[in-house]
């Protein structure tokens, strides 16, 4: 499979993991006020940062493809 397909798939699964960690965070917030473990509070940050990098990669893909196609056209002349 293509690397772009893997990154899109990873981004989708990371969004599911991120959503679950946010739901768990709010559920624990509703249960008790101050006795939340810190690993639960910071657990959404890991998938969030991974989604940041995969999202930026997917954002740049169309611009990179356009740049590569212009480069090929100018090199072919």
pLDDT at 23 over 70: yes
Task: Tell me what pLDDT residue 76 has.
Answer: 61
Domain with 11, as residue range(s), is 3-72
CB 43 within 8 A of CB 21: yes
Query: Total domain count for the chain?
Result: 1
Q: How confident is the model at residue 73 (pLDDT cuts 50, 70, 90)?
A: low
pLDDT at 65 over 90: no
The answer to whether residue 11 is domain-embedded is yes
Q: How many alpha carbons lie under 13 Å from residue 1 in its C-beta half-sphere? A: 7
pLDDT at 1 over 80: no
Distance CA 6, CA 12 (A): 10
Q: In this predicted model, which residue has the larger pLDDT, 28 or 57?
A: 57
Task: Tell me what pLDDT residue 33 has.
Answer: 65
């Amino acid at each position: 499979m293509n690397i772009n397909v893997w990154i899109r798939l990873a981004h989708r699964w990371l969004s599911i993991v991120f959503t679950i960690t946010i739901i768990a965070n709010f559920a624990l917030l509703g249960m008790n006020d101050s006795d939340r473990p810190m690993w639960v509070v910071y657990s959404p940050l890991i998938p969030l940062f991974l989604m940041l990098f995969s999202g930026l990669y997917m954002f740049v893909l169309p611009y990179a493809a356009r740049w590569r196609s212009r480069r090929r056209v100018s090199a072919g002349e």
